[in-house]
Amino acid sequence: MHELPVTESILEIALRHASTEPTCRITNLYLVIGELASMIDDSVQFYWDIVSKGTIAEGAKLNFRRIPAELLCIDCNQKYKLGDDDLSCPNCGGLKVRVINGEEFYLESIEVETKDADKNI
C-alpha cells in the first residue's frame, strides 16, 4: 500500500517538470528501483493507472530499471553482491555490512510529446 503515496509523488514530479515545456502529454517515465527497495513494479503500475487518469500523463508507459544490491564488509572492506539473502561476506564471513547500492528509488527521466516534436526531460 505504500506504493500509492510514492506513485502520487512520481506523478507530481513528472507533471511539474513537464509543465516547463509546451507539453501535449507525457509518454514515458523511467524509474530506477534498487533490489532492496520495497517497491513492487506491478503495484506502482496499478496505482499509476489510477492516479494519472485525467492528466497529461494518462497512458504513459512506466519503464523500470532494477539496480542489484551491493554490500561492503566493514571488517575487511570487501565489496560484494548480495546473494540468496546471505549477508555474510564471501571473503571473511563477516556480518557487519553496509549497503552501497540497492536501496534506490527515483524517477530518472521522462519523455514528453510537445507540440513541435518528442523531447526528453
Distance (Å, whole) CA 25 – CA 11:
12
Rounded average pLDDT over 104-114? 92
| Residue 11 located in a structural domain | yes
Q: Which three cell numbers stand for residue 21?
A: 515545456
Structural domains counted in the chain: 1
Range of the domain at 19: 3-68+103-115
pTM, 2 dp:
0.80
β-sheet bridge partners, residue 96: none
- Tell me, what CATH number does 56's domain have? 3.30.2320.50
59-96 pLDDT tens trace: 999 999 999 999 999 999 999 998 877 889 999 999 99
Say how many CA atoms lie within 13 Å of 93 toward its Cβ: 0
Handedness of CA 34, 35, 36, 41 (dihedral sign): positive
13-60 pLDDT tens trace: 999 988 877 768 999 999 999 999 888 889 999 999 999 999 999 999
Using alpha carbons only, give the angle 107, 2, 35 rounded to the nearest 5 degrees: 55
Q: Give percent above pLDDT 70 in the chain.
A: 93
